[in-house]
Amino acid sequence: MRGDDFQQQVWALLDEIPFGETTTYGELAERLGDQTLAQQVGKAVGQNPLSIVVPCHRVVGKDGKLTGYAGGLKRKQFLLDLEEPATVKAGRLF
């Protein structure tokens, strides 16, 4: 994957998000050492050229809401639902 050093760092963090889990742009920025980088992290996430292989769909807004995804928010929700652990699904009423 081609990108600048910052993009490469963000994409490496995306690759570390476990299956069935999510994180936020702010949490990724904190892992890079500066929470104020959240918007730049979002831009780098959006420029991920391998969005299925490098799981950018696992990144959500700070309030847990879905935010941009190149494949559309419906597809992002589908992927998150697909990965949701059975124990979490069983605990939901709807």
Q: Assess whether 58 carries a catalytic annotation.
A: no
Over the stretch 43-81, which tens digit does the pLDDT of each residue have?
Answer: 999 998 887 788 999 999 988 899 888 888 999 999 999
Q: Provide the mean pLDDT of the chain.
A: 89
Catalytic residue among 28, 56, 60, 79: 56
pTM, 2 dp: 0.85
Question: Quick one: pLDDT band at residue 85, thresholds 50, 70, 90?
Answer: confident
Q: Are 8 and 1 in contact (CB under 8 A)?
A: yes
- Of 23-27, 53-57, 87-91, give the lowest mean pLDDT range: 87-91
Q: Quick check: 83 pLDDT over 80?
A: yes
